[in-house]
Structure 1
């Protein structure tokens, strides 16, 4: 299951995103409206610092071979003898829409681009009149997060962090920057934290300051989160706090899951040849087509 982070999540959608479809689990959907801008920074944080996305109206060069290899890496079926439909290895396209998505099964982020092919530009110089007419500015729907410099920390999980008998140890500076202030006058300062993940699901943790020497820990609720997200040592967890105080939570896997794209994209045996067939048809009919890909792959090159 995936969600489109470019649009507000409705109450109906949020009810569908309870963990494992069970509204009684510890990860529950929020009852308050969710703004897409809240999750834009989280999506980029989970995608990684090297991720660069085009905006609507940009011109990109689409690589069919890269697209095919990326689909094959996520498909359970072997990649061999795939027809290429006589596609040019580099296809100029105009970006019509950009969607930032997340795989419900493993939180792997991916992107869906809607592209309009411009095959007439193939073989022309980048300074040609035809190309210059295509070079237009983005239309305001920037796929990159705004420069709000959110309060954020990222920690690679240790064996202790993923133990069912322990908790999550938070560096003091990170806790004081991202979490609400504790009352250090108390003998055992503690509070309940609520953080939303990429799917708008709320996770509740007990934040306590204890031990000798004292340290910040997430205890109650943490082991459930680790279990339901299938986290292991080496994975990374990100906490972000927006200017409105809302706490957000994301993860980066130590290794990219084989099924980084959801089954709706790669689950059918004929999805690989069908993907290029749709591109070939779009070029011949001068119509739009969509490509879904992990930001860790390069299936296009942004030209402006």
Structure 2
């Protein structure tokens, strides 16, 4: 059986995955991956509206570089390092795109009735719900039934939570979502590409900023081999999973 700490770790990891989304495949600690420099250059171009397409030939970098992941630091919501296999508890969750009324300072969050009934032993008119966010901060919400249809709402405490944007997954910014303070000059672009070249030649460590939504330029070793071994021909049809702005999988 799983211990209390293991159960908390599992629920915490699942919360990270739900906020990050199912389509983002981040590397695992100790895993083998391929690094695609051209994809990284494209990420920089998208985020800065600049043209660095000629940087790769200047540094004579291969199309892909085999690497080992020796450390992961999560700056934003992403997939955490997996924990050991264990008997994981069952939990309930739902994903909702916040409406105007949900984010109104004088409103509250409307919650699907089916989800709240899973966590209630008796149908009471009001109750207090205590939850922790991704940073371990405790939040208290007042849950009430309102109206003849007995709509479930989070009222007191909800506005303070939603305005912090903690635990809310944002719609991807099509014009790039890398802060300008992170990538600020041409010399920095040259530096990160040159560091990859140096690491490849000297078998040493290098660090990169990875934004899967912009460009998935880090691919698992086995996943890359599977893709290469698929001998697609012209006019081959295939299916692809993607998510729209409402976070619906298609």
- Check whether TM > 0.5: yes
CA distance in 1, matches of 2:84, 2:219: 16
CA distance in 1, matches of 2:44, 2:78: 12
Structure 1 runs (4+) greater than 6 angstroms displaced: 143-147
Give structure 2 stretches of 5+ with no counterpart. Answer: 1-7, 223-250
Matching residue within 213, 216, 220 for 1:302: 220
Which structure is higher in helix share? 2
CA distance in 2, matches of 1:171, 1:102: 31
Matching residue within 21, 34, 39 for 1:66: 39
CA distance in 1, matches of 2:85, 2:40: 25
* Pair 1:290 & 2:194 matched: no
Larger mean CA deviation between 53-62 and 270-279 belongs to: 53-62
1:261·1:293 contact (CA, 8 Å) conserved in 2? Answer: no
Structure-2 change in CA distance of 1:195 and 1:69 (3 Å): farther
Aligned to 1:213: 149
1:66·1:299 contact (CA, 8 Å) conserved in 2? Answer: yes
* Pair 1:181 & 2:120 matched: yes
CA distance in 2, matches of 1:36, 1:93: 28
Matching residue within 99, 112, 116 for 1:171: 112
- Correspondence 1:12-27 to 2 at 5 A: none
Aligned to 1:227: 163
Give structure 1 stretches of 5+ with no counterpart. Answer: 1-34, 104-108, 113-140, 230-248
Q: How many residues align?
A: 212
1:110·1:295 contact (CA, 8 Å) conserved in 2? Answer: no
Offset of 1:183 from its aligned partner?
A: 4.2
2:17·2:79 contact (CA, 8 Å) conserved in 1? Answer: no
Matching residue within 203, 212, 216 for 2:139: 203
Aligned to 2:184: 268
